[in-house]
A and B are shown apart, each in its own frame.
Chain A
C-alpha cells in the first residue's frame, strides 16, 4: 500500500541532500587542498599562499620527493614489511585465540578471557611499558618494536571470538571431532574457512593500524633508516632543514632553491596515496564489518 507523503517530506529531503552534500565537501576539501598544493610551484605558494586550485601548475614537488627516492622508498619498505608481518602474525594468533575461547568445552576459557579483558581496565601506563621495551627487552631500533605494539588487542580477540561463534555452529566441532579431526585441524580446515568475512574485517583494521602508525617509530626508533612511512612524513613536515639534510648526504647543496612547501604536500600525497587508492575497494569491508552485529540476516 502506498500512502501519499506529507508536506514535510520535501522539506526533509531538501535538508538531507544539503547536509550530506555540505558534509561530503567538508570531508573532501582538505584532501583537495593538499593535492592542489602538491601541484603548485613553490614560489607561488610562498608568494600567494595555498589555494584550492593551483595558481601556477608544477610537478616540482613530486620531482624533489623522487630526486632522492631512497629515504621515502626505504620508509615505504619498512611500513610495508611491518604491515604484512604484523597483520599476518596478529591474525594468526588472534584467530587461534578467538577459536579457543569460543570452544565451550575448553573449561578455563572464562578465566583466560578475563586475563585478556582485564588489560583494558587497568594498565601500567606508557612509561613502564617503554622502559620494559627499551631497557629489559632491548627492542630499541628493532623491527620487533614496530610490530609488537598493537599486534593483538583484547577487543579484537573478543570480536574474533564472537565472529567465530556466529559463523561456526557448535555441532560442527562435535562432528569434526567424531570424524577424527584434531583441535588444530578443526581450526585450520573449518573455522578459518567459515569465518573469512570476520577475518577480513579484523585484518583490514590491523593493517590500517600498521600503515598509519607513527607512534612506535617515535618511541623506539633512533635509526632513520628504520623509520615508518608516517614518521618519515612527520619529520619532513616538522623539520625546516629537511631539504638541506637531504642534500647533505649526497654532497650536493640544495638548500635555498628547492621547493619545500610543495615538497611537503607532495610527500603527504605520496604517503597517503595507497590508502586513497585502495579505499574505494576496501571500504565496503569495513562498513560490512561494522554493521554485521546490528543488521540481522
Chain B
C-alpha cells in the first residue's frame, strides 16, 4: 500500500534516492578504503556513535524493529530446505535439499503461480495507470469547483474501506441466491448466473475491483501533477491555435511522463508480490477458482494456514523473494543504463 504512496514523492524521492545511492556508493568506497585497518574503522565507528549517542539511541528502536521483523526471518529461509517439523528447532528438521523446490517445479505449481502473479500485476499496472491518467485529465478539465472536489473525494473513497468490506460488496452483488446481479437478471427474465463457479469471470472481476479500489488513489497523484503544470504553456498553445485535444496530447501527457515512469518502476519492483488482501478476500478458499486466481501470496498463506506444509510454503516464499530481488536489480540496472535520473537506487 505504501509503495505507491511514497513513490508519489517522486520529485523528492528521486533526489533522496540519488543522494542515497551516491552516498551509499561513497560509503562502500569508504569501507573498502579502510578494509586494511578494520580495527581502526570499528573504533572510529564506535567513537562516532558515542559522540552522537543520543541520535543513535533515537534510531535504536527502528534498528531493533527491522532486525527482528525483517532480518531474523531471513535466517528462517532455511526451512525451505527441510521437511519441517514444528516441534523441533530451526536446524533440527530433516534436511531435504532442493526437494521442496523440485516438487513445486515438477507439479507445475511454480509456473502457474508465477504466470498468475506476473500477469495480474501487469494488468493492474497498465490498466491502472492508463485509466488513472485519462480520469485525471478529464477531472482536471472540470470548471465547476465544488463538483470537481466532490467527485474527486467520491472516487478516492473506495481506497479507504477495508478489503473485508470489499468481500461484503462482492458477496452482495454476486452471491447466487440473492445477489444484486441475479436479482437484476431475474427482473429481465434472464437465467441466474453462478459466478462463484466460473473461474474465467474472476480474472475480470479481480482486475475490476482492483481498479475500483485503487484508481482514485493514482488519479489523485496524476491530478496533482497536472495542477502543477504552468497555465502559460496552455495559453501559448492556445494562441498558436492548438485545440483542446492537441493541448492535452502535446502538453499534459508529456508532462505526466515523469510521474508515470516513477509509478511504473515502483510497481515493476514489486511485480512478484501480489495484492494478497484483494485475492484472499475475493476468492478465499474457493478451490474451484484457484487455477485462474491463485497467486504466490495466496498459495504461501494457504500452505501455512490450511495445509500446514511449512517447508513447501517457505520454498515458494523464498522463490518469490529471490525472483523479485533479481528482477528489481535487473530493472534498476537497465534503467541506470538508459536514464540515470529514474534509477531507484
Contacts and interface: CB of A to CB of B under 8 A. Distances in A.
Interface of A: 1, 3, 5-9, 12-13, 15-17, 19-21, 23-24, 26-28, 30-31, 33-34, 37, 45-46, 48-52, 93-94, 96-97, 99-101, 103, 105-108, 110-117, 119-132, 135, 137, 148-149, 151-159, 161-162, 165-166, 182-184, 187, 205, 208-209, 211-215, 218-219, 230-231, 233-234, 237-238, 261, 264-265, 268, 271-272, 275-276, 279-280, 283, 286-287, 290-296
Given A6-B244, A127-B76, A152-B66, A16 B138 contact: yes
A294 B224 contact: yes
Given A33-B172, A106-B55, A272-B162, A127 B24 contact: no
A125 B48 contact: no
Nearest to A90: B65
Contacts of A209: 1
Contacts of A268: 165, 168
What's the interface size class on B, roughly?
Answer: 35 or more
Contact of B178 (A9, A16, A49): A49
Describe A's contact surface by its main secondary structure: helix
B289 interface: no
A274 to B, nearest CB: 11
Contacts, number: 338
Contacts of B68: 132, 137
B138 A234 contact: no
Contact of B212 (A6, A27, A162): A27
B95 interface: no
12 contacts: A3-B238, A154-B66, A159-B9, A162-B9, A183-B52, A183-B54, A183-B55, A184-B58, A268-B168, A283-B153, A291-B221, A294-B259
Interface stretch (B120-128, B199-207, B320-328): B320-328
A155 to B, nearest CB: 4
Query: Interface on chain B toward A: helix, strand, loop, or mixed SS?
Result: helix
B229 to A, nearest CB: 10
B182 interface: yes
A21 B76 contact: no
Nearest to B25: A110
A245 B79 CA distance: 38
